[in-house]
Structure 1
C-alpha cells in the first residue's frame, strides 16, 4: 500500500515485508524533495521508482541507502529501523549509474573492495569476489581494469560488487542509463534474471517507462515529492488513476468532451461522425474528467468525417494519428496495412468498453 503525504495507510504482514518506509520527509533548504512518502516492498520483489526529473525518486533511493537523512519518518529494513544508521552499516548493495569503479584496480579488486570493511580473511574475500564475478559472467576477466572492459562489463563488475556480501536489499540508481539500446535491453533481461536467482529484494530508479514496465513487479510513479500511483505494470498501463499518470506512462489516448448516457450502466462520448467511445458509468462525468484507453479499432471509410492526419512507422506497428473534436487519437495497425490509411483517409474508430477508463483531470 502507498501513502501520499501523511495519511495513514494499511500495513502489510510484517513477515512479508523487506523494506517499510513511513511518512518520510526530505528537505533541501526550503525545498521539499519528499513530502511524507510511505511504501512497503515485499521480500524478493523488484520495485521500480519511476518519474520525471525532480520528482523525488533519487532522493528516496538515497534516503533508503543512508546518504540522505530524512527530516521526518522511518526506514525499516527487515524489521529494524535503520534511519539512524550510517550507509555502511545497513547491509545494502548499491549500483550507481556511473558504476563508480576504481580505475587503478582490477575487476577482482573492485569487487573485493566491497568486503574490505568486513572482518573476512583474505583468501575468503578472494573466493567470494571470484564467485560474484562468475555469477555475472566475468570469471575469466577478473584481472582486467575498468578501461579494459566494455560498458556492459563494467556494469557487471559494479553489480558483482553490490551482491558479493549478500545484501538484504539491492538499490539500483539508473545503472543501465549509459548503455546503448541493444545492450541495455540485454542487461535488463540479465539483471532481472539474476535478481530472481538470488532472491534479493531490489529497488530500481529509472526515468524510462519502457524499462520500468519490462523489469518491475510493481512500479511506484512519483511526482513533486509524492507517490501518485503504485501498481503492477499491467494495472498501471490499463488503469492509470489520473490523466497525468496516463500521459506520463504513455498508456494510451486521453479524450475530453461531452458524455451522454445511453443506458443505465453506459456512457458515450461522440468523437465526430459515426465514431463513438463507450464506457461503463451511471451518470455523465464531471467536466474535470477524461477518458483513457489504449486499444483502438480503426476502419477506413470514404464517408467518415474523421481523417488520418499523421503517420509514424514504429517497426512492429504503424501509428495513425486521427484528429477528433475530443482530442487526438493514436491507433496502431499492421505496417502492411499502411496503404489503406494514407494522409486524409476517412476513418471510423472505436474501443471496447473494458479498455476504457474515466480518469480525473490533472
Structure 2
C-alpha cells in the first residue's frame, strides 16, 4: 500500500516515520512538509519517497493509496477532506479537528465515501488497554464505581501551537483528549458531558489541567494532565466493587488488578509488589507499541472488503472525544470569568 505522510514534526519523526519504515506492506511514497529540514528528517527513514513542500502538488505527482496526517491540528480536518476528495484512505492524528463544525464536515464526507478513516487515538490499540477493557467487560473488577487518570509529559520545548488552546495545543487537547477517549473505551460507560468541569494553568512553555466529571451512571471520575511535568506518566485506574484495575503505560506498561487488602494473603501482597518492581526495572527495554499497532490496524482494515471492516478507532470516536474536550475548555474559560467577577 502506497502512503503519503504529511506533516513532519516531532510525532512523525519519532513515531510514524520509523513505524511505517518497518511495516512490510506499507511504502511511503511522499513526504510532505513546507519545512525542508523536517522533510529531510522524515525522508531519512524513506529514501525512496519524493520530498515535497506542497500537498496539492504531492497529490498530483505521487502515487498514493492513503495519507497519514501529522500536521498541526488546525489542518487535520481540511487535509483529511482533500485526501478523501482524491479517493485516499486517511489516518488523522488526534485531535480529529479543532472545531466541531470541521469534524462534522469530515463525518459528512465519509458517509458519501467507502474510504477508511481513522483518528490517532492509538492507545486504544495498546495491548494493556485492550486487556484492561477485556477485564472490565468480563466483570473482573465488578461494577465500575469510579475512575481516575493522569497523563503528564516531561517539560520540553514545545512548538508554538502546542501552547495555544485555540490551535488544539493545550494540555487538554494535547494529552487529556486521549484519556477522554480511553475512559469510555475501557469502561464501556460514556462521559456525561454536562458534568465536565476543568481548570487550566497556562504558561508560555505549556499548560496543566485538572478535570472532573461523571460517567453515565453517575460514577465520579478525575483526570490530571500536564505538559510541564517533571516526569512522564500515563496511568488509568478503574475502581470496581470487588477489585481495582490499574494500567501504567510508562513504568511497566502492564495491567494490575488488586483485590481488597483484607482478602489478600501476605504472601500474595509480597508477590504483587515484587512483580511490580521487576516490571518497572524492565521498562527501558520496552518500546511504545500502540503507534505500530494502530497503523497496522489501518492497513489491515483497508485490506479487508468494506463489509468486513472493523474500525477500532473511527472518526466518530475522535469527534466524541473532541466534543468533551471542547466542553472542558469552555468550562475553564467560564471559571476564569467567574473569578474575575468576584
Structure with the largest fraction of strand: 1
Same fold (TM over 0.5): no
Structure with the largest fraction of helix: 2
Higher relative contact order (CA 8 A, sep 6+): 2
Which structure has the greater CA radius of gyration? Answer: 1
TM-score, length of structure 2 as denominator length: 0.29
